[in-house]
């Protein structure tokens, strides 16, 4: 395993990224730029930025605010929704405090109903998301939702989206996604150079980019350093650790329990296939033709379990198993998340077809079941070796 002494220097920027981000947010707010809180990767970042606002990720990943959320929301709801709402209710998240309004989408039932309560705390603009990506009407409708979002942003201190500003932001986001994809894919060939725990803050950082230039520079430096380590034959993570894909619900710093347990138990998470991970990184927005429609298409195609059917999920799992030479799949489901829970069966069937060992873990943010999950993961990894 990479020790703190030999961990790639380019990772340091991401360890303290949230502090950079808060300082940069303060600066743009002082300049009168509206800040848009977002909770989900269906929020079209390039459009929000082209409309003169700065998007910032607000997704709740910690247990602490859940109790306060449960005074309003049912306890049986997914912890991500409760944590997100709890932060807003207790006013304990500096990013939420910095947001002028929230851009939300009708993804899963729990989240969209939570937004009705969130709207009592902060203005919420709700984008209505179609659930079948293959219907031509779905794309038309989602494009019109993108237009409605642009109008909302213009009315909230932003500016009218021009073709040039949208193109510029599309190019920036394509560059971000491409650099992140290169960084993640360093683990595809040969011995993994990064553990999942090391990758996590890098992947999460994409939700917190305020100023594009320093962020792109940091990603480029890390990408180049990793390429250099690979070509010099650096040792990386010791071999004989089972190569695991962690798929399912979003994971972040604070909700990394299962990721950490896999690596503490002797595995290495070579790829995170969830919306805080690799999902969508290899899907750039085409820069030719109707740009707004291209943006709408790219976001509509995100293979989240709120889509039905959701063929992209199985396609992605299949491709990642091959590309990353995955030896085991761990499918994480947050308690109360029916979409990912039901879809787990489909992922299991695909794993069986690929002959890759599969383990589903259903849990919450609390630590109460940690040792029980550790035992299951240890047994799973032992059977792989």
> Which residues are near ligand SF4 by CB under 6 A?
40-42, 78, 80-81, 107-108, 110-111, 249-250, 275, 302, 304-306, 334, 337, 339-340
Closest CB 138 distance from ligand SF4, rounded Å: 16
Closest CB 313 distance from ligand SF4, rounded Å: 11
Closest CB 295 distance from ligand SF4, rounded Å: 16
Closest CB 357 distance from ligand SF4, rounded Å: 24
* Residue with Cβ nearer ligand SF4 (193 or 304): 304
Inter-residue contact 103 to 48 (CB < 8 Å): yes
Q: Residue holding tokens 């069966």?
A: 345
Closest CB 95 distance from ligand SF4, rounded Å: 16
If you ran DSSP here, which 8-state letter would residue 2 be given?
Answer: -
Closest CB 333 distance from ligand SF4, rounded Å: 8
Closest CB 251 distance from ligand SF4, rounded Å: 10
For 182, 184, 198, 217, the CA distances from 225, given in Å and listed in that order, are: 12, 13, 14, 12
Name the H helices within 212-284.
212-231, 257-264
Closest CB 92 distance from ligand SF4, rounded Å: 20
* Residue with Cβ nearer ligand SF4 (210 or 337): 337
* Residue with Cβ nearer ligand SF4 (187 or 274): 274
Inter-residue contact 199 to 226 (CB < 8 Å): no
* Residue with Cβ nearer ligand SF4 (73 or 262): 73
Residue 75 CB neighbour total at 10 angstroms: 11
Rounded CA separation 169/212 (Å): 9
* Residue with Cβ nearer ligand SF4 (42 or 101): 42
Backbone CA torsion sign across 90, 94, 98, 99 = negative
225 contacts: CB under 8 Å, gap ≥ 6: 8, 9, 10
Beta-bridged to residue 243, according to DSSP, are 268
201 contacts: CB under 8 Å, gap ≥ 6: 11, 14, 15, 17, 253
* Residue with Cβ nearer ligand SF4 (302 or 373): 302
Residue 207's φ and ψ, nearest 5 degrees, are -85, 0
* Residue with Cβ nearer ligand SF4 (108 or 272): 108
For 48, 119, 134, 212, 292, the CA distances from 298, given in Å and listed in that order, are: 15, 27, 12, 21, 10
* Residue with Cβ nearer ligand SF4 (237 or 347): 347
């Amino acid at each position: 395993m990479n020790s703190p002494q030999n961990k790639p220097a380019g990772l340091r920027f991401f360890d303290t990224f949230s502090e950079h981000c808060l300082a940069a947010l303060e600066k743009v707010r002082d300049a009168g730029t509206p800040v848009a809180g977002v909770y989900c990767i269906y929020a079209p970042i390039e459009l929000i930025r082209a409309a003169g606002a700065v998007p910032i990720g607000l997704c709740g990943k910690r247990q602490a605010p859940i109790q306060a959320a449960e005074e309003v929301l049912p306890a049986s709801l997914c912890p991500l929704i409760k944590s997100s709402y709890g932060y807003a209710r207790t006013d304990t998240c500096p990013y939420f405090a910095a947001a002028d309004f929230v851009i939300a989408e009708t993804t899963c039932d729990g989240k969209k109903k939570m937004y009705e309560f969130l709207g009592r705390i902060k203005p919420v603009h709700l984008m209505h998301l179609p659930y079948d990506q293959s219907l031509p009407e779905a794309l038309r409708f989602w494009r019109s939702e993108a237009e409605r979002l642009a109008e909302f942003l213009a009315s909230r201190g932003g500016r009218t989206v021009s073709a040039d500003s949208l193109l510029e932001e599309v190019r920036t986001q394509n560059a971000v996604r491409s650099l992140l994809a290169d960084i993640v894919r360093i683990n595809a060939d040969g011995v993994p150079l990064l553990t999942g725990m090391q990758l996590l803050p890098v992947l999460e950082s994409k939700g917190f980019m305020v100023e594009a230039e320093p962020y792109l520079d940091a990603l480029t430096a890390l990408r180049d350093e990793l390429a250099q380590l690979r070509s010099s034959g650096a040792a990386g993570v010791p071999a004989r650790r089972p190569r695991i894909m962690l798929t399912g619900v979003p994971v972040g710093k604070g909700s990394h329990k299962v990721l950490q347990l896999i690596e503490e138990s002797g595995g290495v998470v070579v790829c995170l296939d969830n919306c805080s991970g690799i999902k969508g990184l290899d899907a750039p927005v085409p820069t030719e033709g109707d740009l707004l429609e291209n943006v709408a298409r790219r976001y509509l195609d995100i293979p989240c379990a709120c889509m039905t059917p959701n063929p992209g999920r199985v396609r992605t799992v299949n491709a990642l198993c091959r590309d990353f030479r995955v030896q085991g799949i761990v499918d994480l489901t947050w308690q109360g998340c029916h979409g990912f829970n039901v879809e787990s069966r489909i992922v299991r069937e695909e794993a069986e077809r690929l002959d890759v060992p599969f383990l589903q873990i259903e849990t919450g943010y609390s630590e109460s079941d940690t040792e029980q999950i550790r035992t299951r993961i240890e047994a799973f990894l032992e059977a792989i070796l």
